[in-house]
Amino acid sequence: MSTAKGNGQGRLCLLDLPNSVFAFLLVFILASVLAPHFFSPGNLSTLLLQASILIILSIAMSLVVISGGIDLSMGGVLSMCGVIMALCLRSGMHVLAAILVGVVSGAMFGLLNGLCVTCMKVPPFIATFGSMGIAQSIANTLSGKRTIYWEGGSHSAILDFLGGNVIRVQFGIEASTIFYVPFLVVLTAVVVGIVIFLFKRTVLGAYTYAIGENEEIARLCGIATRTWTVLLYIISGMLASLAALLVLIRTNSMQPTSGEWLEFQAVVAAVLGGNALEGGKGSLYGAIFGALTLYVVRSALSLKGIDTSATMVVIGGVLVVGMMLNELAARHEKKLLGKM
C-alpha cells in the first residue's frame, strides 16, 4: 500500500480517511438541507436497512477489487442462492439447513470463478461475467421465472424473528418519527465486522494488497497467490449468498431477478470508496461509505419527488464528482508525500 498510514504526520490524518467519507458527508448535508423529511429518524433507519444489502456486496467487491480482480457474478449468485434457499424453505427444510445450503452453493460458485481465473487464466472480468449468466440462468430455471413464497411455520420461525426490530423508539405518531434498528442491520454489522476483523487481523489483508499490487512479486515472496485468489472469490460468493439471505428476510419471498444490476452498483460503491480497479489500493470502510452515498442520493431524490429517470442521471453525475474528489485527494496526498 502506497498510502502514508501510521507515519505519525498530523496533517495526513484527514487523508487516512477513505475519500468516500467526504463525498458521503457532502451528499448527506446537501440531502438534509434540501430534501424534506430526509433528516428524520424514520427515514434514516429505512436508509440503513435499504443500504445494508449493498454494503455487504460492496465489501465483498472491494476484497476482490483490491486483489486486482472483479466479481460481476455477484448479482447472479445472489439471485441463485436466494432462489435455492427459498426452495429449501418451501420444501419444509429447517431454516438453518436452508441457509447452509445457500451459503455452500454461493461458495461453490466462488470456487468456480476462482478456478476460472487462476487455472484457466481467463481475465476476471470475463470469467465472472460468464458465470453471472450461468448463475442467473440457474436462478431462472429453478424458479421457473416466478417469485417464490413459502409457508411460514416452526421451521422458519427464526426468519420471522430476524425480520423484526432490535430497538424501536417512537418520537411521534407519524412513520417518519419512528426510529428503529432492524435485526438485518445488526446482522449486516456483524458480517461486516467479521470480514473487517479477518482483513485487519489476519494475513488476508496484507496478502490481498500484495496480490493486487503485483501478483508476480507476491508469488515470488512465497504467497500462494492462486490459493488466496480462489479464497477471495469464495468469500465473495459466500457474502453474496448472505446478501441473498437479507433480501429473503426483508421481502419474505424471493424473486429470481433480485440480483440484477446489484453487481454494478457494488462496483460503483467500491470505486467511489477509493478502491482502484487495477488493484492494490483501497479500503473496506471506503466501500461502506460509497454504498451509503449511493443510497443517500437515491433516498433524497425520491423524497424530493424527482422522477427515477432523472435519478439515473444524477447518480451518473455523483459518480463523476466522487471520482473527481478521489483524484483530487490522491493528487493532494502525492504533493504532501513529496514534501516530506
Answer for which of 7, 224, 264, 332 binds other proteins (CB under 8 A) is 264
Residue 24 to residues 18, 182, 325, Cα–Cα distance (Å)? 10, 23, 11
Mark 304-323 with x for binding to other proteins (rule: CB under 8 A) and - for no binding.
Answer: ---xxxxxxxxxxx-xx--x
User: Minimum distance between the CB of residue 122 and other proteins, rounded to whole angstroms?
Assistant: 5
Cβ distance to other proteins smaller for residue 87 or 195:
87
Is residue 133 close enough to count as binding other proteins by CB under 8 A? yes
Size of the site for other proteins (CB under 8 A): 43
User: 48 Cβ partners below 8 Å, 6+ apart?
Assistant: 181, 185
Nearest CA among 185, 177, 214 for reference residue 67: 214
For residue 218, how many other CB atoms are within 10 A of its CB? 24
Segment near other proteins (CB under 8 A); pick from 44-52, 117-125, 153-161, 230-238: 117-125
Cβ distance to other proteins smaller for residue 120 or 173:
120
Start-to-end Cα distance in the chain: 17
Q: Report 199-258 residues binding other proteins (CB under 8 A).
A: none
Which stretches of the chain are assigned E, i.e. beta strand? 165-170, 178-182
Answer for which of 145, 168, 200, 332 binds other proteins (CB under 8 A) is 145
Cβ distance to other proteins smaller for residue 59 or 139:
139
Q: Which three cell numbers stand for residue 291?
A: 454504498
Q: Report helix angle 124-143 to 74-90, nearest 10.
A: 30
User: Minimum distance between the CB of residue 264 and other proteins, rounded to whole angstroms?
Assistant: 7
Distance CA 99, CA 210 (A): 33
Is residue 122 close enough to count as binding other proteins by CB under 8 A? yes
Q: Which three cell numbers stand for residue 312?
A: 439515473
Distance CA 62, CA 70 (A): 8
Cβ distance to other proteins smaller for residue 166 or 324:
324
What are the residues binding other proteins (CB under 8 A)?
Answer: 116, 120-123, 125-127, 129-134, 136-138, 140-141, 145, 264, 267-268, 271, 276-278, 307-317, 319-320, 323-324, 327
